[in-house]
């Protein structure tokens, strides 16, 4: 399998988020400055809850767009995946991050129509906006077969599944989860 990114991206996002909250429950969206995190930006996604409760991608980093075969900035969460239950589960994860006000580590996989597997792990953390918790920042990394890593719109025919959802309270917990994920999906495909 081809590795896109490294789990240190998730650790670095957690450390940045934790620093920016500066003793508060979470940082505000305005605390996040792209100048601070140039190496993370390609792996970052910003998601916002809309007034109707749906979630929309406000920003999708170039590495994430490349992993998915398209840029989903401006699109609603879940429209691009199947089954519909998977899209609903994705929205539930974002809702859980906002309601718990705590980061979550998630892992999942997509199976393409050709049988190739694209595995992911993600750290998603809450952000406030105007005093309300309506946004989340996420970092995503993936491992996939080279044949789908560069295919445009390969997700259209892929079936997604959430494999794990775990609250993260410390950097040590996150690094343990990342290590377990890395060992499970070793770069050599074993």
Query: What CATH number is given to the structural domain containing 21?
Result: 3.30.450.20
In a domain, 190, yes or no: no
- Is the per-residue pLDDT at 46 higher than 60? yes
Rounded mean pLDDT of 172-186? 91
Count of domains for the chain = 1
- pLDDT value for 129: 87
Lowest mean pLDDT of 8-12, 66-70, 151-155, 180-184, name the range: 151-155
Across 122-139, average pLDDT: 92
Residue 190: pLDDT over 70: no
CA-based radius of gyration for the chain: 16
Where in the sequence is the domain holding 142, given as residue range(s)?
A: 2-184
- Is 95 inside any structural domain? yes
Q: Are 121 and 7 in contact (CB under 8 A)?
A: yes
Average pLDDT over the chain, rounded to an integer: 86
- The answer to whether residue 4 scores a pLDDT higher than 50 is no
37 part of a folded domain:
yes
Q: Report whether pLDDT(72) > 80.
A: yes
32-36, 107-111, 116-120, 148-152: which has the highest mean pLDDT?
A: 32-36
Q: What is the pTM of this model?
A: 0.89
Mean pLDDT calculated for residue range 38-50: 94
* DSSP single-letter state for residue 24: S
Examine residue 189 and state whether it is found in any structural domain, yes or no.
Answer: no
In a domain? residue 91: yes
CA distances, 132 to each of 21, 50, 99, 137 (Å): 14, 12, 11, 15
Which of 2-16, 63-77, 94-108, 142-156 shows the lowest per-residue confidence on average (mean pLDDT)?
142-156
Give the residue, 117 or 134, on which the prediction is more confident: 134
Span 108-127, mean pLDDT?
87
Q: How confident is the model at residue 7 (pLDDT cuts 50, 70, 90)?
A: confident
Which long-range contacts link 38-45 to residues 24+ away (Cβ below 8 Å)? 39/12, 40/9, 40/12, 40/13, 40/16, 40/139, 43/5, 43/9, 43/13, 43/139, 43/140, 43/141, 44/13, 44/137, 44/138, 44/139, 45/137, 45/138, 45/139, 45/140
């Amino acid at each position: 399998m081809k590795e896109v990114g490294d789990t240190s991206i998730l650790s670095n996002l957690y450390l940045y988020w934790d620093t920016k909250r500066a003793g508060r429950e979470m940082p505000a969206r305005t605390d996040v400055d792209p100048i601070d995190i140039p190496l993370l930006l390609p792996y970052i996604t910003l998601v916002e809850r809309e007034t109707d409760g749906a979630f929309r991608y406000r920003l999708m980093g170039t590495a994430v767009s490349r992993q998915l075969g398209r840029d989903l900035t401006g699109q609603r969460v879940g429209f691009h995946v199947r089954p519909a239950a998977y899209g609903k589960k994705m929205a539930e994860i974002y809702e859980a991050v906002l309601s718990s006000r705590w980061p979550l580590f998630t892992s999942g996989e997509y199976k393409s129509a050709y049988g190739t597997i694209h595995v992911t792990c993600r750290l998603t953390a809450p952000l406030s906006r105007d005093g309300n918790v309506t946004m989340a920042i996420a970092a995503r990394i993936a491992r996939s077969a080279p044949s789908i890593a560069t295919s445009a719109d390969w997700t259209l025919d892929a079936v997604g599944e959430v494999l794990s959802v775990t609250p993260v309270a410390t950097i040590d917990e996150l690094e343990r989860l990342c290590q377990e994920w890395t060992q499970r999906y070793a770069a050599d495909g074993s």
